[in-house]
Amino acid sequence: MENLKRLLNNRQPKLHNLRGYFISAVLVPIIEVDGEMQVLFEVRSSSLKRQPGEICFPGGMVESGELSRPQDTAVRETVEELGVLREQIELIGPLDYFISPVGALIYPYVGRIAGNAKIVPSPDEVQEVFLAPVKYFLSARPAQSSIDVGTRYAADFPFDRLPAYYKEGWRVLGTLPVYFYEYGNRLIWGATAGILHSFIDICRENMIISSQ
């Protein structure tokens, strides 16, 4: 028992079954324009297979060598997608982890882009970028809906060994909120809006930025 105790207390817990999850990291880029903090958003290229034309933050899949430092992924992807230099990004700090309704684990970070950085978006990934004042989101109230999260079992699932209710097929296990921010004619929603909502809540609760 003592050997087991030492073993468990000397190892670093990690997410079980990593292969079953999409793990990514994103950067919430902040740029100061005329003394005002602005959030930079990307519009995904229309040629992408996943979520073409939708609004997002720069980021991507965490590679195996970056699992202990997902912030490196967020910065690396920002450099690639926005065409800025690594030294033009100051990592400010982490936000709360985010788990999407499809089971993707996202590590969000806030970072400052230098005011003199020349942003040249990668056309393969980014259609365009735009800025929105942090102040705007502090006073904006997003529309809210929800999404059901459930399970569907594979055809070879051993139903004969389990209670009968597992044979009912699709089962809703819970409901998650989905936020929608309107900014001009743009709609920010999904994981991007969820991360933005978390960031704004942190700023608002701690009075980091005035909405006036």
- Residue-wise pLDDT for 137-188, tens only, equals 999 999 999 998 888 888 888 988 988 888 777 777 788 899 999 999 999 9
Q: What is the pLDDT of residue 101?
A: 77
Number of domains the chain contains: 1
Q: How far apart are CA 114 and CA 153, in angstroms?
A: 49
Tokens for 142, please give them: 């997003």
Q: CB-side exposure of 177: number of CA atoms within 13 Å?
A: 11
pLDDT in tens, 38-91: 999 999 998 888 888 899 999 999 887 777 789 999 999 999 999 999 999 999
Distance of alpha carbon 149 from alpha carbon 165, whole angstroms? 17
Residue 10 lies in a domain: no
12, part of any domain: no
Q: Read off the DSSP letter of residue 170.
A: S
Residue 84 contacts by C-beta under 8 Å, 6 or more apart in sequence? 78, 113, 114, 117, 118, 119
Give me the domain span that covers residue 96. Answer: 18-205
The CATH number linked to 95 is 3.90.79.10
Do the domain assignments include residue 11? no
Strand duo 23-33 + 105-113: pairing: parallel
Q: Which amino acid is at 157?
A: F
Alpha-carbon span 5 to 188, nearest angstrom: 47
If pLDDT is split at 50, 70 and 90, which confidence band does 18 have?
A: low
